[in-house]
Structure 1
Amino acid sequence: MNKQSDTLTKGQQLIPNGMLDDNAPRNMWWCAAHVDEITEEPLARWLLEKPVVLYRLSDGTPVALDDRCPHRWAPLSEGEVKNDQIVCPYHGMEFGADGMCSKVPTQKSIPKSAKVQSYPLRTSGAFVWIWMGDPEAIDHEPVEMGFTTDPGWSVITGYMEVAANWVLIRENVLDLTHIAFLHSNTFQQDDWENPPEVSMQGDTIVYEQDFPPSPLSPLFCAAFGFEDKKIVKREQRGWMPSLAVSFSDWNIHDLDAGPDKRRDFIGRGAHIVTPGERGKTHYFFVASFDSPNAPVEILEKTKAGVISAFNEDKDLLQKIQARIMKDPRGLDFPEINLGADGAGVAVRRVLKRKLDAERGN
């Protein structure tokens, strides 16, 4: 997988990812929001290049509808939820969770075409997931995210909008060799010179790598109760069970632990991407530690450090996207792959298979 077996011809990517176009499969679960974002107050969000309104019914059930009234296209998200019906702010038409119009204030009859698209939602862990493809094609549940609400873990979650195609972010978080360069001042973890071993387990991309004893990134030392730059033994294991989410486990071994002290720890990151408007991505992230009840001040400090590092990714990825969009050559530019790009190339292969299946290719 790490060997470049495909040839690149002029004007072609190794495997085109269509990053200047709509390149997101529909028949899969994407993250719509953090659970706390969805309340009885309508939330407007662009998902897979469509305007969607999210809200909860009085019993807590989350709802997702197209955010355009079928009468004169006013955004339903500018209205209110009343008696479990979302009320259009323009002329007061009401719609139920199934998208069907239930009331037209100015007349008794309701046009049969007075409806909007509704989308299936599921909750997994701390996130709500949406299926925007064919509901008859639902054949699996969202990725299991139970650790994000497990009291045995100390969990940090965050969100940022990135003005870059989601594939750029997905490839970025699966290739950690950039950490020694782009994150030299934040992660301060400069031992990623060698690419990891990459394999496929079905459609799940897996990478694994062992490291000799070395200083642990100061971003995570406090959360583990270590002093800064503590020397530890570390194994990294990452996996992408869905194009929407990937995980990265930092398996940490305390070499100085006494006979009655804990020796092994896990820090788990999750990188969740959902296409938004064209050329923009919703990026939800998780940093978690398999130790409960970490002090709030430690978690806040850790989160601030993680955000600083991820802003470095965001800034560069946005510049890459802008450069490609402004350059009249677009994707018609040579692109090479390195040995460390095994996981990234696998992402493109998985994506191509899914898109081809949906498009009947």
Structure 2
Amino acid sequence: MKDTATGLTKGAQLIPNGMLDDNAPRNMWWCAAHVDEITDKPLARWLLENPVVLYRLSDGTPVALDDRCPHRWAPLSEGKVIDDQIVCPYHGMEFGADGICTKVPTQTSVPNSARVQSYPLRTSGAFVWIWMGDPEAIDHDPVDMGFTTDPGWSVITGYMEVQANWVLIRENVLDLTHIAFLHANTFQQDDWENAPEVHMEGDTIVYEQDFPPSPLSPLFCAAFGFEDKHIVKREQRGWMPSLAVSFSDWNIHDISAELGKRRDFIGRGAHIVTPGERGKTHYFFVASFDSPNAPVALLEKTKAGVISAFQEDKDLLEKIQAQVSRDPRGLDFPEINLGADGAGVAVRRVLKRKLEAERRA
């Protein structure tokens, strides 16, 4: 029997073993790091269940290589970058940005097989993106994150490692009906009872929702210059142009603004997920406001509140992952979909198409 709200067979999972298996497409851009994380000192990071080392050349170009020397498998991230070569800490072998070994200290010749995989990187906004699939399949740029470095915006960025599959986070941030329950003490926004309208714009998932005048979440009042519980009219619009990143715009209308004062504001969140080690996810987040030069103290206060709210998500998602992982029934357990799950169901459909396309390639 199919659920009329979602079009899915009740109890059926679109992605078999989605929470327990490696379920990340390779032929797409994933976030490797915040731009400030990558320096001339090697950075070790697990991405898509592979160990990767990230560093910058002397001209600032970021580099990503497999973090495993081909000689005796020492982590290259434990070495140093000298004259744009990363030097293995074990026997001093040197590798260029293309992953090819350029020097073996104990001999004059370099074996042809002495190389490691290199990965294409591109910078978009405040983040560096990695392509870990077939480089010949690159046919688009990373998602435009230009607003994160736009001086017209005040921007907060943060990071958490979440011990849960990335799909759990992706579905969570596209279904805001949990805000009234999981975030009752942080967001304090209890008017999410009605499911948003969900549709596709090309390959982009979009949800939209209109709210009657109500108190704005205290997490954002200060950033807009409002007193706590200030009554506003708001419209929510979220979109996921890539499995790696989704956005959520809080379009705020100050219905009590004095004549001649600013009335319309935008708060934009971005949720960026990258699979790490199996069962773990790198979660980069952005909270931004279309007002420049917000005081640092105000942004720090806002960031602390946002982190408190996202910690609530993290704690519950990790409990879900741990329980399903330990339960011998695994995914052989009924899973229903509700009317509010339209965006989450669309995520699974997009993911299924991408995984199937890569399997056929």
TM-score, normalising length: structure 2: 0.98
1:340 is matched with which residue?
A: 340
Does residue 1:8 correspond to 2:47, yes or no? no
C-alpha distance 17-350 of structure 1, shift in aligned 2 (>3 A) = farther
**Offset of 1:16 from its aligned partner?**
3.2
CA distance in 1, matches of 2:96, 2:4: 51
Q: Give the structure 1 partner of residue 230 of structure 2.
A: 230
Matches within 5 A, 1:39-188: 39-188=39-188
After superposition, give the CA deviation of every residue in 1:110-140 in whole Å (9 maximum; x if it has no partner). Answer: 0000000000000000000000000000000
User: What is the Cα deviation at residue 14 of structure 1?
Assistant: 4.5
Q: Who is 1:313 aligned against?
A: 313
Q: For residues 180-206 of structure 1, give each alpha carbon's deviation from its aligned partner in whole angstroms, at most 9, with x where no partner exists.
A: 000000000000000100001111000
- Give the RMSD, CA atoms, in angstroms: 1.1
SS for the counterpart of 1:199 is: strand
C-alpha offsets along residues 42-97 of structure 1, whole Å, 9 cap, x if unaligned? 00000000000000000000000000000000000000000000000000000000
Look up the match of 2:329. Answer: 329
Aligned 8 A contact 1:52 1:65 in 2? yes
- Count of aligned positions: 359
> Structure 1 residues 2 and 218, CA, compared in 2 at 3 Å: closer, same or farther?
farther
Gaps of 5+ in 2: none
Deviation at residue 289 of structure 1 after TM alignment: 0.1
Return the letter of the residue paired with 1:132: M
Matches of 2:8 and 2:109 in 1, distance apart? Answer: 61
Q: CA deviation at 1:357?
A: 0.2
- The DSSP-based 3-state class of the residue aligned with 2:333 is coil
Q: What is the SS of the residue equivalent to 1:255?
A: coil
8 Å contact kept, 1:15–1:345: no
Amino acid at match of 1:183: H
1:254 aligned residue = 254
Letter in 2 for 1:89: P
Determine the C-alpha separation between the residues in 1 that align with 2:341 and 2:52: 35
Q: For residues 260 and 151 of structure 2, what CA distance do their matches in structure 1 show?
A: 24
8 A Cα contact 1:40 1:58, kept in partner: yes
User: What's the secondary structure of 1:352's corresponding residue?
Assistant: helix
1:288-318 per-residue CA deviation (whole Å, 9 max, x = no partner) reads 0000000101000000000000000000000
Alpha carbons of structure 1 residues 4 and 69: separation in structure 2 relative to 1, 3 Å: same
Deviation string for 1:314-339 (max 9, x for gaps)?
Answer: 00000000000000010110000000
Q: Would the aligned equivalents of 2:14 and 2:352 in 1 still touch at CA under 8 Å?
A: no
Percent same amino acid among aligned pairs?
87
Q: Distance in 2 between matches of 1:83 and 1:146?
A: 31
The amino acid of 2:232's aligned partner reads: V
Partner of residue 212, structure 2: 212
4+ long deviations beyond 2 Å:
14-17
CA distance in 1, matches of 2:135, 2:4: 37
SS in 2 for 1:117: coil
Q: Which amino acid aligns with 1:21?
A: D
Cα drift, residue 8 of structure 1: 2.9
What amino acid is aligned across from residue 185 of structure 2 in structure 1? N
Equivalent pair of 2:6/2:345 in contact (CA under 8 Å): no
Q: 1:332 to 1:286 in 2, by over 3 A?
A: same
Deviation (angstroms), 1:222 = 0.2
1:284-295 matches, within 5 Å, as 284-295=284-295
CA distance in 2, matches of 1:250, 1:170: 18
Distance apart, 1:6 and its partner CA = 1.8
Q: Is the 8 A contact 1:2 1:340 kept in 2?
A: no
Counterpart for residue 196 of structure 1? 196
CA distance in 1, matches of 2:328, 2:171: 24
Query: Offset of 1:5 from its aligned partner?
Result: 1.6
In 2, distance between residues paired with 1:5 and 1:32?
Answer: 35
SS in 2 for 1:235: strand
Could you list the runs of 5+ residues in structure 1 that have no partner in the other structure? none
Name the SS for the 1:341 alignment partner.
Answer: helix
TM-score, normalising length from structure 1?
Answer: 0.98
* Secondary structure of 1:187's aligned partner: coil
Q: How far is 1:17 from its partner?
A: 5.8
> For residue 328 of structure 1, what is the amino acid of its counterpart?
P
- 1:151 corresponds to which letter in structure 2? P
SS in 2 for 1:45: strand
Q: Distance in 1 between matches of 2:168 and 2:144?
A: 24
The aligned amino acid for 2:207 is Y
